[in-house]
């Protein structure tokens, strides 16, 4: 099973969700192109056998969030703005309520959260823009406490710049200068190669909350000394449109988690698959689904009715009926 990158929706189609991050069979260089050749599929399989990592794919999101009779599917965001609003609501629910603080790597009462939201396009500038939109959607008292940490974009010269009233600083420059930041922090697109810098910055930080936006790291493949730090981030929101190949037929779907109250661990990870013109829930897990988890769920949901499977079964029935079974010729 593998994932195929589909042509993205036009940039002007604001109402539709745009290219996203996904965790299923990522291609190394298939962010904005159609991957169809056998060699690409084989390369994707070889890559999937290696360390798991997130990749940004151009997934066509037309039809995501279509109305259904199921309450959970109705919660899926129908636009980028709605996804941003949901992510902001999840962050505010945890930081505005004075919830229980995360263990270690922060002051008492501090929270470390992570959110995943589809990005308009690849690049650090787009990630910072997304971070700004999420912070802008927060309640004003909470919004004013935030500083955005740009992890891949150094467009903010000097020690920091202000955009829409929100301070934006470069992770690299802050760490090099040894600056101590206070208040709430939002890391825009941190990668596994920047984990040491993020850990160093948060070592003496004592703010109310630190949020990792579209973090490209995994406790499954990280060095042992970084695993506890990665796991200390609690997932409060995730919307990841994806496409999975089930026996050579691409199926659209999404991974969705939205914690609006209580402990983030109590909110399940829901897996949706597109059937016809709407998304329906086809699975649910207590932990973030892995590539293998998603493949299994999609195969169980769609593999049985796959035309190839039906053809093989019909052939077996024909052979079995003529192959000298109990009712065959003696």
Q: What is the DSSP string of 86-135?
A: HHHHHHHHHHTTT-PPPSSSS-TT-EEEEEE---SSSSHHHHHHHHHHHH
Distance CA 161, CA 155 (A): 9
Q: Under DSSP, is residue 70 helix (H, G, I), strand (E, B) or coil?
A: coil
Strand partners, 241: 254
Residue 324 class from Cβ within 10 Å (0-12 exposed, 13-18 middle, 19+ buried)? exposed
Q: If we measure between CA atoms, which residue out of 146, 153, 145 comes closest to residue 127?
A: 153
Say yes or no to pLDDT of 12 above 90: no
For 291-319, write each residue's pLDDT tens digit: 889 988 998 888 765 555 555 555 556 66
Least confident stretch, 23-32, 41-50, 133-142, 172-181? 23-32
**Model confidence pTM above 0.85:** no
33-42 pLDDT tens trace: 333 344 443 4
pLDDT at 10: 30
Question: Quick one: how far is CA 253 from the chain centroid?
Answer: 12
**32/116 Cα distance (integer angstroms):** 20
Mean pLDDT along residues 59-69: 36
Q: Tell whether the model's pLDDT for residue 67 goes beyond 50.
A: no
pLDDT at 258 over 50: yes
Residue 170 above 60 pLDDT?
A: yes
**pLDDT for 85-139, tens place per residue?**
999 999 999 998 644 444 444 445 689 999 999 987 878 899 999 999 999 999 9
CA pseudo-torsion sign 49, 151, 269, 83: negative
pLDDT at 215: 95
Q: How confident is the model at residue 178 (pLDDT cuts 50, 70, 90)?
A: confident
Helix ranges (DSSP H) in 178-281: 195-203, 224-231
Segment 278-288, tens digit of pLDDT: 889 999 999 99
d(CA 243, CA 250): 6
Q: How far apart are CA 126 and CA 188, in angstroms?
A: 10
Best CA proximity match to 41, nearest among 268, 248, 224: 248
User: What integer is the mean pLDDT of 239-247?
Assistant: 85
Phi, psi of 242, deg, nearest 5 = -155, 170
pLDDT of res. 9: 30
Give the span between the Cα atoms of 218 and 223, in whole angstroms. Answer: 10
Average pLDDT over residues 252-260: 94
- Quick one: DSSP state of residue 281? E
Q: Give the pLDDT score at 301.
A: 84
């Amino acid at each position: 099973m593998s994932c195929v990158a589909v042509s993205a929706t036009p940039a002007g189609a604001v109402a539709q969700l745009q290219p996203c991050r996904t965790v299923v069979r990522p291609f190394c260089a298939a962010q904005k192109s159609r991957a169809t050749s056998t060699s690409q599929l084989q390369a994707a399989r070889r890559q999937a056998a290696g360390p798991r990592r997130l990749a940004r794919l151009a997934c066509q999101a037309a039809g995501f969030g279509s109305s259904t009779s199921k309450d959970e599917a109705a919660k899926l965001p129908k636009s980028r703005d709605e996804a941003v609003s949901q992510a902001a609501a999840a962050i505010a629910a945890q930081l505005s309520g004075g919830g229980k603080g995360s263990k270690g790597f922060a002051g008492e009462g501090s929270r470390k959260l992570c959110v995943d939201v589809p990005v308009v396009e690849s690049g650090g500038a787009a990630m910072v823009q997304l971070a700004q939109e999420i912070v802008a959607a927060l309640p004003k008292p909470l919004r004013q406490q935030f500083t955005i940490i740009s992890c891949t974009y150094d467009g903010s010269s000097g020690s920091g710049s202000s955009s829409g009233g929100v301070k934006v600083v470069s992770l690299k420059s802050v760490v090099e200068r040894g600056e101590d930041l206070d208040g709430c922090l939002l890391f825009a697109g941190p990668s596994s190669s920047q984990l040491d810098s993020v850990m160093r910055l948060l070592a003496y930080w004592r703010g109310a909350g630190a949020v990792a936006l579209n973090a490209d790291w995994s406790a499954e493949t990280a060095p042992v000394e970084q695993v506890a730090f990665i796991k200390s981030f609690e997932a409060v929101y995730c919307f990841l449109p994806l496409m999975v190949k089930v026996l050579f037929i691409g199926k659209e779907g999404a991974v969705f988690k939205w914690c609006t109250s209580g402990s983030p661990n109590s909110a399940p990870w829901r897996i949706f698959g597109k059937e016809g013109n709407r998304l329906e829930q086809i699975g649910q897990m207590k932990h973030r689904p892995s590539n293998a988890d998603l493949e299994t769920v999609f195969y169980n949901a769609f593999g049985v009715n796959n035309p190839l499977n039906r053809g093989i079964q019909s052939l077996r029935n024909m052979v079995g009926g003529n192959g000298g079974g109990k009712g065959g010729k003696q």
